[in-house]
Structure 1
Amino acid sequence: MSQTSDWTDKIPQAARDYLNGRRLDEVECIVADIAGVARGKAMPASKFKFQDRFFLPNSIFLQTITGEWTDNPSGAFTEPDMILTPDFSTATAAPWTADWTLQIIHDVEDQEGNPVPIAPRNVLKRVLALYEAEGWRPVIAPEMEFFLVARNIDPNQPIIPPMGRSGRRAAAKQAYSMSAVDEYGKVIDDIYDFAEMQGFEIDGILQEGGAGQIEINLAHGDPVHLADQIFYFKRLIREAALRHDCFATFMAKPIEGEPGSAMHIHQSVIDIKTGENIFSNPDGSETEAFMHCIAGLQSHLPAVIALLAPYVNSYRRYVPDFAAPINLEWGRDNRTTGLRVPISGPAARRIENRLAGMDCNPYLGLAASLACAYIGLKEKKMPKPECLGDAYMSAEDVPVTLGDALDLMSESAPVRDVLGEEFCNVYEAVKRNEYKEFLQVISPWEREHLLLNV
């Protein structure tokens, strides 16, 4: 069975506008792997219109970030094919390419037509289906932090800030400075232009506290749609940086002595029948459901830190005095807490989860945070008392190594039930392989301080 010749009628308006009066050359058929890296195939548009699906082996979800392969915990390594079908609502331009190209995210099913449970986008959909069964619809708004850095082609050399238009390197401790953003304004201009061509709405761009560190806020909306956007944005931002002789990195902690990059997640829940925020009563006061969500996040976030902080580098962000909460306290308009309640009206009442790193897979980061809130809604427990002071002084509430985080994930029955047992087994296997690889690397610190001193 083939695509009809008018398949472009099914794509978003922004993609049609991009192609207006032009001949489409190529289509990139992609999915996000465990790391959030785009995998798939590119094909001529003339071929794509006659092909309504294509195949990839399930082993793409068993590969570590270094390219090594993990044994499948659920059986032999036979690499059966999965069936990928285009989700035309995700079609968007790839405006940095030399020809006229569209990217399309594909749905991933097995050969019986069932969603593949280890595909990250399907994990998020699984969590949303649990909400829907209760008559709820989550709403999220992500904040994306990243660094622009000088080109680095030697991994043995430290990362340094990029050169600005003034001829000086980007400076640290310039949060919210407009002149700091202007230093790399051409990159920002390309980010805006690419986003517009791709049909993405940027809510705001600002300078963060690190040297060359930028934050982009996206408008609130559907979790899958916004995870798709973050997935696309990472590539868009990297391409914009490369045009101007620098790199964009989403590492949690790329530069020693600088703050890390987070992906703060603002989340609320809507009653599907009424369209009202279940966190607010008719008189505008906070509901018990609001408190239950906070309690769920406090109780179960430790078990999903391996998803929110997926690499050994992620835990370098969890250090005191670098604007990264390492606690599970909650507070109203308190940025020292891991769970912040921003100032808002009753309709926009929400919880901001500040623990996720920008290095996480966006589908899995959102799924993890929403899973904890869902469990809280079902358990109906109350949170600890609100933190009214400096929560940075609180005891550390989250694991500070990847190994400890994976241990907590493996022991949490509620989290594994919501995210799916098969997915959790595969994710743990991939991450333990990565952790084992890292432990075999001898660092410059060890050579400097241990070689002649111990």
Structure 2
Amino acid sequence: MPPEKKDARAAGRSGRKRLPAFVKNLRGVKSWKEAGAWLDWRSIEDIECITPDQAGVARGKMMPSNKFTSNTSLALPSAVFMTTISGGYPENSPDFTYPADDGDLKLLPDLNTLSAVPWESDPTAQVICDLVYQDGRSVEFTPRNVLRRVVEAYHEHGLRPIVAPEIEFYLVFKNPDPDYPLTPPVGRSGRPIGGGQGYSIAGVNEFDELIDDIYHFSEMQGLEIDTLIHEEGAGQLEINLRHGDPVELADQVFMFKRTIREAALKHDTYATFMAKPIQGQPGSAMHIHQSVVDLKSGRNVFSNEDGGESAIFRHFVGGMQKHMPGALVMMAPYVNSYRRLTQGVSAPVNTKWGYDNRTTAFRIPRSDPAARRVENRIPSSDANPYLALAGSLACGLIGILDKLEPEPPVGQAANQDEIDLPRGLLEAVGLLEEDEALHKILGAPFVSTYAALKKAEFETFMEVISPWEREFLLLNV
């Protein structure tokens, strides 16, 4: 019997019509009607309605699937998005005050992000939500909306940014006691993983089963991994994503972080995106490849018709050079982030650029003219992907609009040169507060909220006495 007749006969026996193609989508539907059918076909019991907070942590609510599709109103307190990584709240200041009523913000599910939660034992789905006020206005200071604002600024000038993130992370031995240093895990060989494993296939094979789960979980959510490699650090891996729309790629990084952590926990291991988790080992970056295309034609505006570099390309690099110090706190958001940005290692310490030069902040990879792009090597993997992308793209757009010219490219090693990036969190916050061009694109409500959070986190960090202080100050001063 032909397959189509067999399908029709089976559908007739079940009393159901042939299934529409959208119910088999791994990721995303177009309407609430489609969402209901998609959930029903998978027998989904629960829905996680999530949104990234300022740290990129998933916040939200879980509910039964029948409640999700019955026009139930979802809301979260506004204070959730004014909370430090340790759960505290910043003090009111002339630039920042809490809403007097701490009113609710509405969660609006973005059905394009609907997908399964493959690590849950019960059939569960997840959806990323946008945040609006009760009257429908966009909440200016929430990360997904900040990135949307930057992308829309490009659209207003007939341009569309394209990005491709690369995310580094460490697998570490499971250790719930924060007083003890993290250590590399034991692989399938039964021996602790050592450093110097850059691009080692054997290094990747040490974690075959865990990596299989990462691929499996990702596939079930419709997340596309381009490549996976072992990096230089002991137990350090890197995942590269395919290029695309900034909001969609930020969503993918947001989901990948959850996915990788869950896959690691399944194998009794931690996955960490700290910028510098292990002393003496390389830090973890989130490099961002960026290009800009014409909104109508789709042509890469970094290249002229003859294949040469365009003026827009130069201005984009010029904007990155001038404004990256002000945006740095969005890409290096914690005290630990600045332990990665040190001289003599692969992480940049200045705003120089060069062709295929990995010691510069902004590397121009070898490519044909249609793929000409700028790789921002400054962001660390602890950054909120929405904010890192927003800050980086904002710098480039300012350069395009102000026609900023870059310094000459660097052809030699630049990671031993003078440091022209902030060396600490408070200095970086101060530069963001001073950069009025960034305020216009990112929005003043976001800048004031984010700066207040970072200052409060620094004060919390200063309450902790470190091992270095006990070792060198205890009996010597």
TM-score where L is the length of structure 2: 0.91
Q: Residue in 2 aligned with 1:290?
A: 313
Q: Is the 8 A contact 2:154 2:397 kept in 1?
A: yes
Deviates more, 1:62-71 or 1:259-268: 62-71
Residue of structure 1 equivalent to 2:166: 143
Instruction: Give 4+ residue runs of structure 1 displaced > 3 Å after superposition.
Output: 8-12, 15-22, 74-77
How far apart, in 2, do the equivalents of 1:66 and 1:288 lie?
Answer: 44
Partners of 2:343 and 2:117 in 1: CA distance: 40
Letter in 2 for 1:277: N
* Equivalent of residue 37 in structure 1, options 13, 36, 57: 57
Structure 1 residue aligned with 2:136: 113
Question: Which of 71, 76, 101 is the matching residue for 1:56?
Answer: 76
Tell me the amino acid that sits aligned with residue 178 of structure 1.
Answer: I
Q: Answer yes or no: is the 8 Å Cα contact 1:32–1:120 preserved in 2.
A: yes
Letter in 2 for 1:49: T
Is the counterpart of residue 327 in structure 1 residue 347 in structure 2?
no
Distance 1:111 1:22, change over 3 A: closer
Q: What's the offset of the Cα at 1:158?
A: 0.3
Cα contact 1:12–1:89 (8 A) shared by 2 = no
Corresponding letter in the other structure for 1:383: P
Q: Is the 8 A contact 2:166 2:239 kept in 1?
A: yes
Task: Give the distance between the partners of 1:365 and 1:285, measured in 2 at CA.
Answer: 29
Task: State the partner residue of 2:123.
Answer: 100
1:13 and 2:25 equivalent? Answer: yes
Instruction: Give 1:50-449 correspondences, 5 Å limit.
Output: 50-71=70-91, 73-449=96-472
Query: Does the C-alpha gap of structure 1 residues 12 and 312 become closer, same or farther in structure 2, counting only changes over 3 Å?
Result: farther
- Structure 1 residues 422 and 291 mapped into 2: Cα distance closer, same or farther (>3 Å)? same
Range moving further from structure 2, 84-93 or 350-359: 84-93
Distance in 1 between the 2:78 and 2:376 partners?
32
**Cα distance in 2 for residues equivalent to 1:287 and 1:164:** 48
Aligned to 1:4: none
**Which amino acid letter does the alignment assign opposite residue 63 of structure 1?**
T
Would you say the 8 A contact 2:344–2:416 is kept in 1?
no
1: CA distance, partners of 2:135 / 2:38:
36
Inter-partner Cα distance in structure 1 for 2:91 and 2:131: 20
1:47 aligns with 67
Q: Distance in 2 between matches of 1:22 and 1:65?
A: 35
Query: Unpaired runs of 5+ in structure 2?
Result: 1-19, 29-36
The letter of the residue matching 2:64 is P
Say which one has the larger Rg.
2
- 1:18: Cα distance to partner? 8.8
Q: CA deviation at 1:390?
A: 0.7
What SS class does the counterpart of residue 264 from structure 1 fall into? strand
Root-mean-square deviation (Å): 1.6
Cα drift, residue 20 of structure 1:
8.2
Q: Is the 8 A contact 2:343 2:417 kept in 1?
A: no
Aligned residue for 2:336, secondary structure, equals helix
Shift of 1:416: 1.1
CA pair 225-449 structure 1, distance change in 2 beyond 3 A: same
Write the distance in 1 (CA, Å) between the matches of 2:405 and 2:214.
42
Superposed CA offset, 1:355-375 (max 9, x none): 000000000000000000000
8 Å CA contact 2:50, 2:128 repeated in 1? yes
Deviation at 1:76? 4.2
Equivalent residue letter for 2:77: P
Q: Helix, strand or coil: the match of 1:393?
A: coil
Paired AA for residue 439 in structure 1? M
Secondary structure of the residue aligned to 1:220 is coil
Return the alpha-carbon distance in structure 2 between the equivalents of residues 252 and 303 of structure 1.
Answer: 19
Does 63-72 or 79-88 show the bigger shift? 63-72
- SS of residue paired to 1:169: coil
Alpha-carbon contact 1:207-1:214 (below 8 Å) kept: yes
Change (3 A) 1:31 1:21: closer
- Counterparts of 1:213 and 1:57 in 2: how far apart (Å)? 37
- Quick one: percent identity of the two aligned structures? 51
Where 1:269 maps in the other structure, the secondary structure is strand
Determine the C-alpha separation between the residues in 2 that align with 1:179 and 1:398.
Answer: 36
Per-residue CA distance 1:374-411 (angstroms, 9 max, x = gap): 00001102100010111112211210100100011111
Secondary structure class of the residue paired with 2:313: helix
Whole-angstrom CA distance in 2 between matches of 1:12 and 1:271: 33
Return the letter of the residue paired with 1:373. G
Call closer, same or farther: CA 1:131–1:439 in 2, change over 3 Å: same
Deviations 1:180-200 (A, max 9, x none): 110111111000000100001
SS for the counterpart of 2:296 is coil
Which range moved further: 142-151 or 390-399?
Answer: 390-399
Q: Contact 1:308 / 1:355 at 8 angstroms: preserved in 2?
A: yes
For 1:312, what is the secondary structure of its paired residue?
A: coil
> Aligned in 2, Cα 1:311/1:167: closer, same or farther, shift over 3 Å?
same
Unpaired runs of at least 5, structure 1: 1-7
Contact 2:170–2:235, Cα closer than 8 Å, also in 1: yes
Corresponding letter in the other structure for 1:248: A
Q: Which amino acid aligns with 2:285?
A: A
